[in-house]
């Protein structure tokens, strides 16, 4: 049985993640990421004026891909391009919700490309990260 | 459409400035740690036996691990401007393999006065040896 999302089932303009996928930013997630990436940025060890600890900006790569991984294409797909706009870093304790929309579908050199816009907001609807991901869809 | 006005320098930043370079050696334990941290346990990254059967002939690092190194460079260079309004637009050009050392290089190509703030637009390239593995643009408020 295959649970893969087929290229043929994708439609430009469709929501790819509905409802948006939640992600909890907790201390463990942030510590694992900081350790795995050798990130020694001083600001990540501090508490901000509001008493919050913040996550590395590029944790975006984790919570966005984590959300997209809930609906995957066939094996062999390739992450070709990535855009991110970092509106602000996520904070430990926030719950994030990532949505995605199919922007463009096209074929080049026999490969199927999928462009999706993504938006990640926190539990109050504040925009944290927006992006555009281009994937080469795996062969079915 | 928002208007931009290009400047040669602003706030101590000048067109042509290099950002501090970063060198980071990647090994399998780092790839495994990133897989654990991100939840992306694709066998192409963490299973050497499986990865041998793919076109790569061995495990490769997550492309997004390389972007974590890019973010470290931008964070160290200009934390506030990167974390609160930074932008990245890149293409993945090739794999990073265990044992590779990734070199992150960036340079200010333009300083843009936009309606809300002033931004440095930087060309970005990440190399393993002489081979580019990531290329693109990063933008930071300055």
- The per-residue pLDDT for B3 is 64
Q: Do A57 and B83 touch (CB under 8 A)?
A: yes
Q: How confident is the model at residue A1 (pLDDT cuts 50, 70, 90)?
A: very low
* A64-73 per-residue burial string, b: 16 or more CB within 10 A, e: under 16: bbbbbeeeeb
Q: Do B86 and A62 touch (CB under 8 A)?
A: no
For the four alpha carbons of B37, B45, A83 and B90, in that order, the dihedral sign comes to positive
Q: Nearest-CA distance from A15 to chain B in Å?
A: 22
Q: Do B83 and A89 touch (CB under 8 A)?
A: yes
Contact A26, A92 (CB under 8 A): yes
Domain boundaries, chain B: 5-141
Q: Is position A2 within any domain?
A: no
- Give the residue among A30, A21, A3, A14 at the shortest CA–CA distance from A119: A21
pLDDT in tens, B16-58: 999 999 999 999 999 999 999 999 998 999 999 999 998 899 9
pLDDT at residue B121 tops 60: yes
CA distance A111 to B118: 39
Write the CATH number for A20: 3.10.129.10
Contact A90, A25 (CB under 8 A): yes
Q: How confident is the model at residue A2 (pLDDT cuts 50, 70, 90)?
A: low
Q: Note if the bond before A108 is cis, omega within 30 degrees.
A: no
Domain span including residue A128: 7-136
CA distance A45 to A66: 24
CATH of domain B5-141: 3.10.129.10
Two structure tokens written together for B100? 């590779």
Tally the domains of chain A.
Answer: 1
CB-count exposure of residue B67 (10 Å: 0-12, 13-18, 19+):
buried
Which residue has 């590029």 as its token pair?
A58
Q: Nearest-CA distance from A44 to chain B in Å?
A: 10
């Amino acid at each position: 049985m295959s649970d893969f999302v087929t290229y043929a089932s994708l439609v430009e303009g469709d929501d790819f993640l509905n409802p948006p996928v939640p992600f909890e930013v907790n201390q463990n997630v942030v510590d694992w990421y900081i350790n795995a990436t050798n990130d020694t940025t001083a600001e990540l060890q501090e508490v901000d004026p509001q008493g919050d600890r913040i996550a590395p900006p590029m944790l975006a790569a984790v919570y966005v891909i984590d959300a997209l991984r809930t609906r995957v294409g066939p094996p062999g797909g390739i992450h070709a391009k990535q855009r991110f706009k970092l509106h602000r870093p996520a904070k430990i304790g926030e719950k994030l919700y990532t949505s995605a929309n199919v922007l463009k579908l096209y074929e080049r050199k026999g490969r199927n490309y999928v462009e999706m816009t993504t938006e990640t907001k926190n539990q109050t609807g504040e925009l944290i990260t927006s992006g555009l991901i281009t994937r080469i869809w795996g062969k079915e | 459409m928002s208007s931009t006005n290009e400047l040669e320098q602003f706030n101590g930043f000048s067109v042509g400035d290099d950002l501090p370079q970063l060198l980071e050696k990647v090994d399998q334990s780092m790839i495994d740690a990133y897989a654990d941290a991100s939840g992306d346990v694709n066998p192409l990254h963490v299973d050497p036996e499986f990865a041998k059967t793919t076109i790569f002939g061995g495990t490769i690092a997550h492309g997004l691990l390389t972007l974590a190194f890019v973010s470290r460079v931008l964070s160290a260079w200009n934390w506030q401007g990167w974390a609160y309004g930074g932008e990245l637009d890149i293409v993945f050009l090739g794999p990073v393999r265990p044992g590779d050392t990734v070199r992150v290089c960036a340079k200010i190509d333009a300083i843009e006065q936009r309606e809300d703030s002033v931004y440095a637009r930087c060309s970005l390239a990440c190399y393993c040896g002489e081979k580019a593995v990531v290329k693109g643009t990063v933008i930071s408020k300055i």
